[in-house]
Amino acid sequence: MATTNQSNVTFDPISYLARAGVGRRITDLEPGETFFTQGDPADSVFYLQSGRAKLTVVSHQGKEATITLLSGGDFVGEESLAAVPGLRLATATALNTCMALRIAREEMIQVMHQEHTFSDLFMKFLLARSMRTQADLVDQLFNSSEKRLARILLLMAEFGKPGEREPFIPPITQETLAEMIGTTRSRVSFFMNRFRKLGFISYNGRIQVHKSLLNVVLLDQLPEHNAENPPVLAIE
């Protein structure tokens, strides 16, 4: 929805986020490139126009953990809007080819103050992210690692989002999946092969998630573990 400011100039937040302008520029990233790195100055917010990315943190002991996945329509780097500018709290890395709008901190603050439709859009995003974080915490506390893996795969496949889904999820390693659900790579390998054997996913160079996997998360419809483990496949 567009609004009109005091200068009678129509402001459209979707158009604003689609193109470069004062205080903002479009950035293209290849897989593995970073939007920013943990410890960098927090001087901008990124709006992911297309592509998929991940947000990771590294502990003082050097252990890395993936804390969330990002897709088109997400903001990242909102810590730069704190009253006192600080440092990046995490690293944002492209999983596949990405296009993002980099908005300078000063520009972001100004447009939020001046344009209510934009601040409403941004607040809705922050609320959705907060609800996702809460759901992630509940998932970690109460669900099995197998069910947590099913949920992550469905989120990556963007089930429940409007529009046509991509046939395959973005490339992701079993180590990253293990970090996200709090288990080991060997357990992820076992679960992935079990999902494939049950017809929940397909794998032919890339992973395709089928709608039947929803039954694992929503209805707990997962057969009992077989005595004989399915063969382990090297899905990297």
pLDDT at 136: 86
Reported as a single tens digit per residue, the pLDDT across 40-61 is: 999 999 999 999 999 999 998 9
Judged by phi (left if over 0) then psi (alpha if -120 to 50, else beta), residue 56 lies in beta
Q: Are 56 and 67 in contact (CB under 8 A)?
A: yes
Q: Are 17 and 47 in contact (CB under 8 A)?
A: yes
For the chain, the first-to-last Cα distance in angstroms comes to: 43
pLDDT higher for 236 or 35?
35
Q: What is the DSSP letter of 183?
A: S
In the chain, the largest separation of any two C-alpha atoms, in whole Å, equals 71
pLDDT at 205: 80
pLDDT at 234 over 60: no
Reported as a single tens digit per residue, the pLDDT across 66-101 is: 888 899 999 999 999 987 889 999 999 999 999 999
pLDDT at 85: 80
Token pair belonging to 88: 């990046």
pTM of the model: 0.78
Reported as a single tens digit per residue, the pLDDT across 115-173 is: 999 999 999 999 999 998 888 888 888 888 999 999 999 888 877 566 556 668 888 88
Domain assignments of the chain as residue spans, ordered by start: 3-139, 143-218
How many C-alpha atoms does 92 have within 13 Å on its Cβ side?
27
Residue in this structure with the two tokens 């970690």, named with its chain if needed = 140
State how far the Cα of 192 lies from the Cα of 87, in Å rounded to an integer.
37
pLDDT at 93: 96
Q: Where are the alpha helices (DSSP H) in the chain?
A: 13-18, 105-114, 116-142, 145-156, 174-181, 185-197, 214-218
Residues in a beta bridge with 11: 3
CATH 3.40.50.2300 fits domain 3-139: no
Reported as a single tens digit per residue, the pLDDT across 167-225 is: 688 888 898 899 888 899 999 999 999 999 999 999 888 899 998 888 877 766 666 54
pLDDT at 19: 95
So what CATH class is 143-218? Answer: mainly alpha
